[in-house]
A and B are shown apart, each in its own frame.
Chain A
Amino acid sequence: MNGKYFIIPFLAGMAYLFLILIVRGIRWISGLSKIDKLRLFQSLKSGRTLKSLKEAFVEGLLHRKIFLKNPVLGYMHMSLAFGWFLLIVMGHVEAMVAEGSLSVPFYMPIFFRYFKTTEDFPLARFFSFMMDLLLLFVLSGVGLAMLKRFKKSLFGMKRTTRLKLFDRIALTSLWLIFPLRLLAESIAAAISHNGSFLTSGIGKILSSSQHIELLNTPAWLAYSLVLGFFFIALPNSRYMHIPAEILFIFLRNSGIRLKKQNTTYTDVQVFSCSRCGICLDNCQLSTAGIRDTQSVYLLKNIRNKDLDDEHLFNCLLCGKCQIDCPVGIETIDLRITQRIESTRQYNSSYEYLEINSSPSAKVVYFAGCMTHLTPGIITAMQKIFETAGENYWFFDQEKAPCCGRPLMLAGQYEAASKLIENNSRQILASGAQTLVVSCPICYKVFKEDYHLFNMEVLMHFEYIRRLIDREILQVARSPQRLLYHDPCELGRGMGMYKEPREVLAMTGTLVSIRNEKEKAYCCGGSLGNLKIKQEERDMIRNQAVNDYLEHSPDMLVTSCPMCKKTFARNTRIPVLDISEIITRNMLSPGIPGLTESKECILEEEYI
């Protein structure tokens, strides 16, 4: 076997790849905090390993999430990943059977038809058929991948990411691996007059040429070379996502999360991004012509260490990309963490904050800055509290600090903590059991970052729901068709889709649309984006409004003052907050029937 040297490129590539993977794996795991290492260790001992393995199989090989998005795109990914995986597994079984031993050299199955020219082992025809079938399966994926490069729309994608040098090398090698394997196996089949339906057919065509034997080693060498190229390009290309994603699944399932600062968990997520570009399609920034700040580019910028503020802060933080990401990368947390790192130097200390005495009350109402810009909501809330005869304290009626969430969205976590501390003290001093907020931006920070002990935090519609359930408030149904707009912070941010709809359903008919709940639009007003121009915000808002108008609702309802204010700038559709809808449909005790007509609602307060 003097021609055996052709496997050297493959072996060299493999050795390089494994070296890099081992170095990176050790660096990533050792870079985790002590507690995270413990988490990983604990989870490996528990049943979560099975869960992770299952997830790695279902997502990493079968690509379930991509299938759900688009079956053709899913098939393309599955045929490449799962097909190749099966080729390797089946190849090993075949080699083991042929050699009659469990230990065969690991390169043997890869170049099996070169080394084994006879079919004198059990089930040889079956293996031969299966290997051809699997190769065809993978080749169909390669064909689709090539087609996708030229015609994305067939795969339900509008855009795809731009490639850099190593990506191109890796991509070209990957595309060539399987056609070259087919060629090499066909030549081998032609020489030894065997092979199954695919290789024997092509082999017969090839055997018509003379000196086919001379082409055998060069063909296998070419196959070995592209394998080597692919392995060498892999660590510096987007295909690094293949090994990184497996580690990512294990880390995520062991409960490791990003905690306001970069750790190697950031790197694992960054390298897990396959740059498939699925996050680009639903990103509303594209509507406004912003095409270089989306999550895939953020991850790329972090990986290339060339992230600047203009890109980092130009994101609505609406969370759509996180829902869409087939790998499950925490795009929002990742971006906020980068903002925290970027603004660490200039956190304010707010020394002017002072603790004022708090009156005692049963319920504290925190309207928040945004609600103060939509006084209609405050009036509605006050009316509700008064009708319910609630002993409440309007914390920020005159003056109070911001909740801290806008600072967090801007990455100034330490500064936000000062406001949180001050607010917590005052709210707790009231001795209240319940905190009611009318703004999802505040709600998220109160729920996630405040330590209010036994005090419960309620969105205003949850509080209203309780009043209705206890028959303290009574609302009448009107024939109005209401379309509910899910605020990002409440929907994708806190997972509250059902609760506001249940309350709204008591007052009117809900219009259901395709782009709602997890797929809901961002209104464009987001405090998460610090760079976007007003005209661009308008475009994003109009995208949502245009879709809403197609369902001709009588009223657009939301539960976020920011969304309300943003939509109110577009006068084509009347918009109200849930609390306002409730007060308008509220039955005063003893006086049955609706008190206000639709016209009344329309003329009121659009700021």
Chain B
Amino acid sequence: MKDLDFLTSTPSRQIDYEKFDTRLLDSVLENETSFLTCMSCGGCTATCSAGNLTNFNVRKIGLMLRRGEIDQLSVEIEKCMFCGKCTLVCPRDINIRNVVLLIKKGIALLKTENILS
């Protein structure tokens, strides 16, 4: 039974598509369509200078963005140091630096609108 502990010990990560928050994703995609081509290879995460110092994970940033997990994203995105290595190594030539900038901008906007705590 111990193997099934995760069912109760961690909160559900089930995504309710009815309540899916796409505001941030939409605003990012509007200005940076290259993000659509991300295949979550993790090259960005492997090279990341911030990821070398902390548990920051660029690939997960993309995942959170797609899932609309804005609260978590707003904490994680703070760790990025903007060095640009991720953008240089991306095999799909995604402008990740701009994605991060747009996320930061979008979150700041949501915060000023008092939608986000």
Q: Give me the interface of A with B, judged by CB distance under 8 Å.
A: 309-310, 313, 343, 345-346, 348-350, 352-353, 369-370, 372-373, 398-402, 406-407, 410, 412, 415, 419, 525, 527, 530-535, 565
Are A373 and B85 in contact, with the CB atoms below 8 A?
Answer: yes
* Alpha-carbon gap, A473 to B49, bound state (A): 33
Please classify the interface of chain B as helix (H, G, I), strand (E, B), loop, or mixed, using the class held by over half of its residues: helix
Contact A530 B98, beta carbon cutoff 8 Å: yes
Chain A to chain B: the 4 pairs with minimum beta-carbon distance, closest first: A534-B93, A369-B83, A402-B83, A399-B52
Given the known interface contacts A530-B101, A565-B88, the answer about A348 and B31 at a Cβ–Cβ threshold of 8 Å is no
- Cβ distance B71 to chain A, nearest Cβ, rounded Å: 16
The one of A373, A419, A530, A565 that contacts B95, using a Cβ cutoff of 8 Å: A530
Say whether A406 contacts B34, CB under 8 Å. Answer: no
The 8 Å CB contact of A345, one of B34, B85, B112, is B112
Which residue of the partner chain B has the closest CB to A411? B101
Q: Which B residues, 14 to 61, have Cβ-Cβ distances below 8 Å to chain A?
A: 31, 34, 47, 49-50, 52-54
Of the candidates B54, B83, B84, B108, the one whose C-beta lies within 8 Å of that of A346 is B108
| A310-B31, A343-B104, A530-B98 given; A373·B49 CB < 8 A | no
Complexed CA–CA distance, A309 and B97 (Å): 14
**In-complex Cβ contact of A534 among B84, B85, B95 (8 A):** B95
Cα of A373 to Cα of B88 in the assembled complex, Å: 9
Knowing A345-B108, A346-B105, A565-B88, the reply to whether A531 touches B83 (Cβ < 8 A) is: no
Task: List residues of B (75-100) whose CB comes within 8 Å of A's CBs.
Answer: 78-85, 88-89, 93, 95, 97-98
Q: Is residue B70 within 8 Å, beta carbon to beta carbon, of the partner chain?
A: no
Bound complex: CA A69 to CA B98 (Å): 36
Task: Work out how many contacts link A and B, with CB atoms closer than 8 A.
Answer: 88
Contact indicator B49/A346 (Cβ below 8 Å): no
Determine whether the beta carbon of A346 is less than 8 Å from that of B81.
no
B53 touches A401 (CB 8 A): yes
Interface pair B49/A369, CB less than 8 Å apart: yes
CA gap between A373 and B108 in the complex, in Å: 31
Q: Which residues of B contact A (CB under 8 A)?
A: 31, 34, 47, 49-50, 52-54, 78-85, 88-89, 93, 95, 97-98, 101, 104-105, 107-108, 111-112
Q: Name which of A370, A407, A530 has the most chain B CB atoms within 10 A of its CB.
A: A530
Inter-chain contacts of A349 with B (CB < 8 A) = 78
Q: Nearest CB to that of B94 among chain A residues?
A: A534
Given contacts A352-B53, A401-B81, contact A346 B47 (CB under 8 A): no
Residues of A near B89 (CB, < 8 A) are: 373
B93 CB contacts on chain A under 8 angstroms: 533-535
Contacts A345-B112, A346-B108; is A399 near B85 (CB within 8 Å)?
A: no
Q: B54 contacts which chain A residues (CB < 8 A)?
A: 352
Q: In the bound complex, how far is the Cα of B47 from the Cα of A370, in angstroms?
A: 11
Contact status of A531 and B85, CB under 8 A, knowing A343-B104, A373-B47, A399-B52: no
Please list 17 pairs of residues, one from A and one from B, whose beta carbons are closer than 8 Å in the complex, sorted by A's number.
A346-B105, A346-B108, A348-B79, A350-B81, A352-B53, A353-B53, A369-B84, A372-B85, A373-B85, A401-B49, A401-B81, A402-B49, A402-B83, A406-B82, A530-B101, A533-B34, A534-B93
Bound complex: CA A299 to CA B81 (Å)? 29
- Minimum distance in angstroms from B86 CB to a CB of chain A: 10
A398–B107 CA distance with the chains assembled, in angstroms: 32
Contacting pair A346 B104 (CB below 8 A): yes
